[in-house]
Amino acid sequence: MVKNIAVIRGDGIGPEIVEQALNVLDKVSKLYGHTFNYTDVDMGGCAIDKYGDPLPEAELKKCVESDSVLLGAVGGDKWNGVPGNMRPEKGLLRLRAGMGVYSNNRPAKIWSQLADASPLKKSIVDEGIDFIIVRELIGGIYFGEHKTEGDTAIDVLTYSEAEIERIGRIGFETARKRRGKLCSVEKSNVLDSSRLWKKVMHRLADEYPDVELSDMLVDNCAMQIVKNPSQFDVIVTENMFGDILSDEASMITGSIGMIPSSSLGKTSCGLYEPIHGSAPDIAGKDVANPIGTILSAAMMLRFSFDMPKEADAVENAVSAYLDAGYRTADIMSEGMTLVGCKKCGELIIGNIRKD
């Protein structure tokens, strides 16, 4: 099978972690007889330096015309002084909108080998952490009007019924494939947009009698994720809430460096990226954890390319790597063997087997 992948290496540690993910994909292609063609795309700070634009139209076109996109990370202090509408992160927002990927799925799963790395009490971790946050990605306050008038700043939060319904269906369908529990998170005691969100979710629930729907206010959800994460199966929520909650959820699993994500819309062309940032302070030092990016590539294999066996092979290789006691600095603990970014990738590649 031939697949064309747009590759955004980005800024900071982005090029390092993406390189290891590509090496993993190369091993998969060799073992399973696939061909993965890579097209480099400039986005973020590097694109600002090169073009004066965080995502030129020609670069976006490469992504839209690909079978899927693999992204490292963008941004950094170097570009803090550029105008707000030209910041590196604006390229990412433009990419999501241009690709029409409205559903961002972020798993929060603790690997058994990293249970001790969780900041939560052992008794809580032992109950299990395995849920997915389905975040609406191209609506809400991030895509509303933004303006500053004198000493007043304005950011507009807007959602339509259609936008809520399409992400709501993703939440229900995801729960249907897991344990059948969906928690809809909003702030309906304050926001009109959240009251509409709740109304639409309950209307959709009639179509999914096999899924148990519950409602939770976002502030309570933030507390419950650290108090009793085992209660959650799938959480569906709007853009800003999902951004914040998914970062919180990643940390209770031990390291933000371990968490992949997928962003999908109406087609199989998806955007795959780790949820962490560009970490410019460690860029070029060969200490970054590439596993979040490697697991993002595995999600690409599974959800966009319909290659479940190949995805399993990558995930099993990561598990074998952890079993062997290797750790990058972010998840290092006593008795483990410290390795760098490149060595981590090499060890995982060495564990990839074809069933």
Catalytic residue annotation? 142, 187, 219, 243, 247
Measured between alpha carbons, how far is 111 from 118 in angstroms, rounded to an integer? 10
Measured between alpha carbons, how far is 209 from 355 in angstroms, rounded to an integer? 37
Rg (CA), the chain: 20
> Nearest 5 degrees, angle CA 102-CA 133-CA 207?
75
CB 218 within 8 Å of CB 237? yes
Lookup result for tokens 């997915």: 132
Pick from 320, 306, 295, 290: nearest CA to 34: 306
Residue type, 288: A
At CB < 8 A and 24+ separation, what contacts does 206-212 make? 207/172, 208/172, 208/175, 208/176, 208/182, 210/176, 210/180, 211/172, 211/175, 211/176, 211/180, 211/181, 211/182, 212/180, 212/181, 212/182
Measured between alpha carbons, how far is 227 from 105 in angstroms, rounded to an integer? 22
Q: Which helix (H) or strand (E) holds 92?
A: helix 88-99
- Looking at residue 331, the DSSP 8-state letter turns out to be G
